Amino acid sequence: MIISPRHSKILFIMVLLSISILIAGNVFASADPSAAQEVVSASTAESQHAWWFWPLVLFILSFVLGIFAVLAGVGGGVLYVPIVSGFLPFHLDFVRGAGLIVALTGALAAGPGLLKKAMADLRLAIPVALIASTCAIVGAMIGLALPTNVVQTMLGGTILGIVVIMMKAKKSEYPDVQKSDALSQSLSIMGVYHEPTLGKDINWKIHRTPTGLVLFVFIGIMAGMFGLGAGWANVPVLNLVMGAPIKISVATSKFLLSITDTSAAWIYLNNGAVLPLMVVPSVVGIMLGSFIGVKVLAVTKPALIRIIVIVVLGVAGLKALQKGLWPDLI
């Protein structure tokens, strides 16, 4: 069945509305209705701003992050969580919950189109998603159980690790996989996609599948624990470790996020760690910024933007470490 672009847009809008309804329903049906009131009271006590001030700040910041995410080739979640938690007065649990919804929304927007174009491969995605989504649930539970300063310190270390990966990561457009391993053969993880820049079909297969699946255990745990979209880790593992072509890796990674982040997001929803006043402006800002970013990408130098993103993430990572280890320093 072929889905027309018009129907795809309608489907995405319906999914987005469903997410908003679920978020609102879980928050208002929370077993502890005083939790949200405590957050509002604390914010009011610490600030003289009107109630709409911080949602507006989140919208503007998310809009800018949406642009930079497209230009730098990273997911919105990996920028959103460290920057918002480091520089805005929101509790880390709420930021991580919003970060998962932000990453999930972007994945849901891109997923149907990538599947229709045969860029995202289901046979590659399903076994990986099964492991990563299960581990993301475990990661979310661990993240909510640990003290905030411990999670903040671990987040800072993870963000600085991402910076190192972004600085040193290499990409292989068409990895040379001489022979697929027994596990990938038994799962029939192979395929063909059309490469328009070469004007021909590309046959691909993968190897080192057991190693890749083990790595996705850790990726899933980190995605759930820190509320980060795990695209920064998915792509190197799929491309450099397992040998999938870079386009297949990027597209499958985006589709994976729609499964992995959904699993972890339910844990945050169930624990009342998702606030509509944070999520709605963040999601709208990221999506609008992404549309602008696609247009800006054609007239800018991605290398310069990548350097800016690395610097910003480095500062945010150091800020997260400072808030975790020395909260009273600044």
Tens of pLDDT along 25-61?
A: 444 444 444 444 444 444 444 457 788 899 999 999 9
**Model pTM?**
0.74
pLDDT at 13 over 70: no
pLDDT at 106 over 80: no
pLDDT at position 34, please? 46
Tens of pLDDT along 254-304?
A: 888 888 888 888 899 888 889 999 999 999 998 888 888 777 766 766 567
Helix axes 209-226, 122-145, angle to 10 degrees: 40
Mean pLDDT, all residues of the chain = 78
Tens of pLDDT along 211-231?
A: 999 999 999 998 888 887 777
pLDDT at 21 over 70: no
pLDDT at position 1, please? 43
pLDDT at 205 over 60: yes
Does residue 262 or residue 114 have the better pLDDT? 262
d(CA 22, CA 108): 16
Is 258 within 8 Å of 108 (Cβ atoms)? yes
pLDDT at 195 over 50: yes
**Phi and psi for 205 in degrees, rounded to 5?**
-150, 170
Q: What percent of the chain has pLDDT over 70?
A: 79
Is 110 within 8 Å of 290 (Cβ atoms)? no
Is 59 within 8 Å of 285 (Cβ atoms)? yes
Domain locations in the chain?
Answer: 57-325
pLDDT at 318 over 80: yes
Which residues does residue 202 pair with via DSSP β-bridges, in sequence order? 193
d(CA 68, CA 86): 18
Query: Mean pLDDT throughout 121-130?
Result: 90
Query: Mean pLDDT throughout 59-76?
Result: 80
